[in-house]
A and B are shown apart, each in its own frame.
Chain A
Amino acid sequence: MASEQTHSGNPRVDIEYRKKKSAEEMRYQIVSFSMMIFLTFVAFIAVGYGDFSAWFIVPFILLLAVVQVVFQLYYFMHMSHKGHEAPALFLYSGLLVGLITILAFMTIIWW
């Protein structure tokens, strides 16, 4: 998206183009924010008012959290832009190690 410099040679044209790109990106971010608020509401209502079993609700709210974090990472933190291959590698490597740690602590360690 709006991550690359434009070279039309005319600064006025460039700035118009860039402002349009920025505004377009802002729209995506507003949509992301609305989705994040919505997902948060659903999670709180499901736990606060819903009459569901723990077997359903735990995976359900974890899924909502993952979706919300994807919005945050890809739109708010611009991971959907070009040039984020290394950040993605770092983040997913960290996540892999982290998930293995969580799995280990919850299965191998018990009291």
Chain B
Amino acid sequence: MHVEDKFTAETWPAAPEKQTLEGKNKFLGFWLFLGGETVLFASLFATYLALKDKVPNAEHALAKDLFELPLVFVATMLLLTSSLTSVYAMYHMKNFNFKKMQLWLGLTVLLGFAFLLLEIYEFNHYVHEYHHTFTSSAFGSAFYTLVGFHGGHVAFGLLWIVTLMVRNAKRGLDLYNAPKFYVASLYWHFIDVVWVFIFTVVYLMGMVG
């Protein structure tokens, strides 16, 4: 099978993301990248855990003063649901239904964007209500680096998915772009994997003390 071949639902392969050499390489290379991302985020988690609540004096807010569970809960639900919508997108990709794939990717983008807006509101709230900034304490630096890096990944993921959707809007599905969509959805799931540890380690454990 060739990248430029035209397909129908009948001739579309069961694993389109791995039909071409390029697709196979993308798949392997992307998982290697995710292994590296695991190390990156683990080191940021390590830094956060070492510097949690390390503030210069008693006037600075600590984790348990800052965090509010309802906001984190809503953010978690948004991101978790966006992970499911991208599963639906890949389901339609495998069934060669380009329009439905685009629709579910669009929903994923909307949910991810809502998550990002909540995070911007949250950071803005901490800065203005609690004077908890990147430079106010070691705790602040570690917190914004970890959570901000994740937020940066969300922003990058949104740009990536939107770019793929726009660039391939008229092309439809083929073996050239199927691995691209597949890999972007893997990235989106990985963002959710990292968030699971952020809401547990940063927010929930922050409330416990």
State the A residues within 8 Å of B (CB).
Answer: 2-6, 11-12, 14-15, 18-19, 21-22, 25-26, 29, 33, 36-37, 40, 43-44, 47-48, 54, 57-58, 61-62, 64-65, 68-69, 72-73, 76-77, 83, 86-87, 90-91, 93-95, 97-99, 101-102, 104-106, 109-111
Task: Give the complex CA separation of A73 and B27 in angstroms.
Answer: 15
B residues in contact with A98, CB < 8 Å: 38-39, 41-43, 45-46
The listed residue with most B CB atoms (<10 A of its CB), out of A36, A40, A94, is A94
B residues in contact with A77, CB < 8 Å: 186, 189-190
Instruction: Specify the main secondary structure of chain A where it touches its partner.
Output: helix
- Taking a contact as CB atoms under 8 Å apart, the answer to whether B18 and A83 are in contact is yes
Give the total of B residues in contact with A, Cβ under 8 Å: 52
- Taking a contact as CB atoms under 8 Å apart, the answer to whether B32 and A90 are in contact is yes
Closest to B138 in A: A111
A102's partner among B49, B73, B87, B95 (CB-CB below 8 A) is B49
Q: A36-B80, A54-B208, A76-B189 are in contact. Are A65 and B200 (CB under 8 A)?
A: yes
The listed residue with most A CB atoms (<10 A of its CB), out of B28, B31, B77, B189, is B31
Q: A15-B10, A68-B196 are in contact. Are A101 and B46 (CB under 8 A)?
A: yes
B15 part of interface (Cβ distance < 8 Å): yes
Task: Give the complex CA separation of A4 and B42 in angstroms.
Answer: 34
Task: Give the complex CA separation of A6 and B11 in angstroms.
Answer: 11
B residues in contact with A19, CB < 8 Å: 95
- Taking a contact as CB atoms under 8 Å apart, the answer to whether A11 and B31 are in contact is no
Q: A91-B34, A94-B37, A102-B42 are in contact. Are A22 and B94 (CB under 8 A)?
A: yes
B174 part of interface (Cβ distance < 8 Å): no
- Taking a contact as CB atoms under 8 Å apart, the answer to whether A44 and B204 are in contact is yes
The listed residue with most B CB atoms (<10 A of its CB), out of A3, A21, A61, A72, is A72
A54 CB, nearest partner CB in chain B, Å:
5
- Taking a contact as CB atoms under 8 Å apart, the answer to whether A40 and B18 are in contact is no
- Taking a contact as CB atoms under 8 Å apart, the answer to whether A105 and B196 are in contact is no
